[in-house]
Structures are given as C-alpha cells and as structure tokens.
Amino acid sequence: MKKVMILSALLLSSSAFADERAEIMANNCAGCHGTDGIVENSALISIAGLKADVFIQTMQDFRNNERASTIMRNVALALSDDEIAAMAKYFEALPTGEEK
C-alpha cells in the first residue's frame, strides 16, 4: 500500500502538477488570449510559444507605459517580477497554433 502512495506522489510531482501556480496564473490570460495561449481573433493575439525574454520585456513595457495598452498595463503592474518570469517560462513551453 505504501508503494502505491509513493508511486502516485512521484507521478504527480513530476508531471501534471509541477509548476502549478504558473499554470494557474497563465490560465487567467485565456479569457482573451485563448485556452493554452492560442486564439483566432481579429484583435487579440496568441501568446503560446512566445520567447520568455519577449514576454518579460513586453510586460515591462506595459508597466512603464512604453507600449500602448488597455488593461495590460494594470495587469503588468499587479503581477510581481517573479510571477511574470514564471508565466513567461510557462508560455514559452507551449506549442504555437502552427505546431499543434
């Protein structure tokens, strides 16, 4: 029985539930940027597969008003640097629409 528990714990920590907070935060983007960061839309863009440094720079530009936005400045101001970095890493690893 003990083995069973250890096995499940290992499987869980190594896969689906790893880095879960970044994934939970990234899910909050999906209402506009699509499930898994992919959206087909006239105005809103996909963010899956975006290079992490581009993601981070873009968020900094939103914060500093160096890039025009509507809600994104406020979102970028609400998120910490660590949160932005974790989300950048998460989105970079997602396949883009073409790769899927």
Stretch that binds another protein, among 36-44, 47-55, 90-98 (CB under 8 A): 36-44
Compute the CA torsion angle 65, 95, 44, 26 (nearest 10 deg): -60
CB of 92 to another protein, least distance (A): 19
DSSP 39: -
Q: Which amino acid is at 89?
A: K
Residues lying near another protein in the complex (CB under 8 A) are found at 1, 4-5, 7-9, 11-12, 14-17, 20-21, 23-25, 27-35, 39, 41-44, 68, 70-71, 73-75, 77-79, 83
